[in-house]
Amino acid sequence: MSYGNSNQADAVQTDPPIRAEAIGCFKQRLKEAMRGQAPRGFARMAQLSEGAIRSYLNGETYPTLDRLEQIAHASGVSAVWLAFGIGLGSEPSTGDDNYTYVPLYDSKCTSESSLWREGAAVLGHLPFKTDVLRAQRLEPARLAAIKVDDDSMERLLSNGDNVVIDHGRTELEGEAIYVIRMGDHLYAKRLQRQIGGGVAIISANPAYPVMEVAADAVDMLEIIGRVVWAGRWM
């Protein structure tokens, strides 16, 4: 019985199943998956070191499979697409009830509508386990994410970090970090109720002075929602 020439059979496929150039473009896909987020903030989300993320972005190294999955989970993209450029990229899966995808909006909202999201572009989606949101007593329909794009909360929130807000919590419940609108821009700030009924708007970066809102002007303070996640639950 003849089994044929194994060398000849092996020679039928001369090209690798995954093109080398596709693997070499990993750094571009990683940059796309990060959607402009700073390496430090994204590394925190993926639970990796900033040095590792920068090394991947520079094309110096490639992640191991477990790290690849961490990056894919943090960015909400397919791990296969991230590694090889195959299949869909940043479109969220709608068939997996185990995950909830929170929309990430452009933080520079110019809409005058009270529904600020109507005036903002969706940059992508952040994936969270549905059971974790349930444990935090958060309703997915009330969640939205924006990107921090200043350094006023540095030491706590870095420029480029993503924060998730519960936009159903628009009243000052106690000292916490809230997203507020000032002019046509959104800011994440710590709000602290003062004796006498006023509110202090506090930046984590000491270079920014505390702003005081007088008691008779508190109703003019527009709270978009309370920050519930910023690389960790808050």
pLDDT of 171 over the 70 cut? yes
| Residue 107 confidence (pLDDT) | 63
Residues 34-44: tens digit of each pLDDT = 877 788 888 88
- Helical (H) or strand (E) element with 50: helix 50-57
CA distance readout (Å), 35 to 74, 94, 144, 185: 12, 20, 16, 19
Please tell us whether the domain made up of 99-229 is placed in CATH 3.30.465.10.
no
pTM of the entire predicted model: 0.59
| Residue 117 confidence (pLDDT) | 59
Cβ-in-10-Å burial (0-12, 13-18, 19+) of 147 comes to buried
| Residue 231 confidence (pLDDT) | 74
Alpha-carbon dihedral angle through residues 121, 143, 187, 195, given to the nearest 10 degrees: 160
Do 15-84 and 99-229 agree at the fold level?
no
Using pLDDT thresholds of 50, 70 and 90, give the confidence band for residue 100: confident
Residues 14, 28, 124: CA angle, nearest 5 degrees: 120
More confident residue, 150 or 166: 166
User: The tokens of 124 are what?
Assistant: 């992508």
The architecture (CATH level 2) of 15-84 comes to: Orthogonal Bundle (1.10)
End-to-end Cα distance, the chain: 70
| Residue 127 confidence (pLDDT) | 78
CA 16 distance to own-chain centroid: 35
CA-CA distance, 110 to 130, in Å (whole number)? Answer: 31
Report domain extents, the chain.
Answer: 15-84, 99-229
